[in-house]
Structure 1
Amino acid sequence: MFKNKVAVILLVMFMTLAIAGGALFISWDYITAETDSSAEPSIDEIIERSYDTEEMTTNLLNGGFVRSKYKIQLDSKEALHELEKRDFQVTNIVLTTLSGKEAKELAGPEGKTQLEEELKEQINTLMQEGSVQKVYMTEWVVQ
């Protein structure tokens, strides 16, 4: 009878450890799984969190003019709602930035990329509920 009690106790302890170990193994993956915040959002997420500016026209420093339109990608819906309220400030930033440039500064892919980054940084200084991830030029005419 004593041998059976020891065997039963050992079996119960083994089963308890096996169940606890399995639960720990499964939960460990869940606990240590890092949320990949650097993962690229899907196109649906980008569209869902993007703001389209109105078409804007302004004079350039050298006497020419630029007509442009932008899509601004934000990191959250809250940021999108905030930016929608700040649309007049975004328009001011774009117009002020463009009016201080010459056509040659905006020429080529480098000029456009630099402008997009500059607009992103300036708009981010306004944001309190999130941030701008990227600024996309959707219309562009320089004369």
Structure 2
Amino acid sequence: MSRLVKTMITSLVILLIGAIAALVVVLNVTGQSEESEAQTIDDIVEYSYESPEITTDLEDGTFVRIQFQIVTDGKKAKEEISKRDFQLKNILIKELATKTEEDFKSGLAELEQVVLTKLNELMTEGQITEVYTINKILQ
């Protein structure tokens, strides 16, 4: 083979190795940034919405007063959920009307998940990431 062909093949191999190395670096860097996008406590506090206290009756005739902290994924989502306050109250009243006192004693995780799912169905700007019960009184 001539010297020109050997030089071209060597150059192509070096360029190919460089391109593969660059691709690996780019993929690893973007993968790490996606993993580090978990919300910090400061973000959680900043993008949280505290629902008003709601007092309503349960299926078995008892009353409950309950309040939630709703964590969103950004500023626009927080603004939207505060505007959708009436829809949140509606969802809570409908869900609480099917619960009994025993449902509250066994835990609220199911209610929190239902509220999260139904609110995310309504959201157009961002989404709800967590729903926390911050106040609960059975009467």
Mapped contact 1:116–1:135 kept (Cα < 8 A): yes
The CA RMSD measured in Å over matched residues stands at 2.6
Question: How far is the alpha carbon of 1:94 from its aligned partner?
Answer: 1.1
Corresponding residue for 2:11? none
> Residue 114 of structure 1: which of 104, 110, 113 is its match?
110
Corresponding residue for 1:92? 90
CA separation in 2, counterparts of 1:97 and 1:63? 14
The correspondence of residues 64-79 of structure 1 with structure 2, limited to 5 A, is: 64-79=62-77
Matched residue SS, 2:64: strand
Question: How far is the alpha carbon of 1:26 from its aligned partner?
Answer: 7.5
Corresponding residue for 1:123? 119
Change (3 A) 1:45 1:104: same
Larger Rg: 1
CA separation in 2, counterparts of 1:72 and 1:62? 27
Identity between Structure 1 and Structure 2 (%): 34
1:36 aligns with 2:34: yes
TM-score by length of 2: 0.77
Matched residue SS, 1:70: strand
- After the TM superposition, which segments of 4 or more aligned residues of structure 1 sit over 2 Å from their partners? 24-32, 35-40
Question: How far is the alpha carbon of 1:86 from its aligned partner?
Answer: 0.7
**Per-residue CA shift, 1:64-118, capped at 9, x if unaligned?**
010011100111211111111111111111122112211112213xx31111111
Mapped contact 1:106–1:115 kept (Cα < 8 A): no
Please list every run of 5 or more consecutive structure 1 residues that lacks an aligned counterpart in the other structure: 1-16
CA separation in 2, counterparts of 1:88 and 1:68? 15
Please list every run of 5 or more consecutive structure 2 residues that lacks an aligned counterpart in the other structure: 1-13
Question: How far is the alpha carbon of 1:32 from its aligned partner?
Answer: 3.6
Aligned residue pairs total 127
Corresponding residue for 1:57? 55
TM-score by length of 1: 0.75
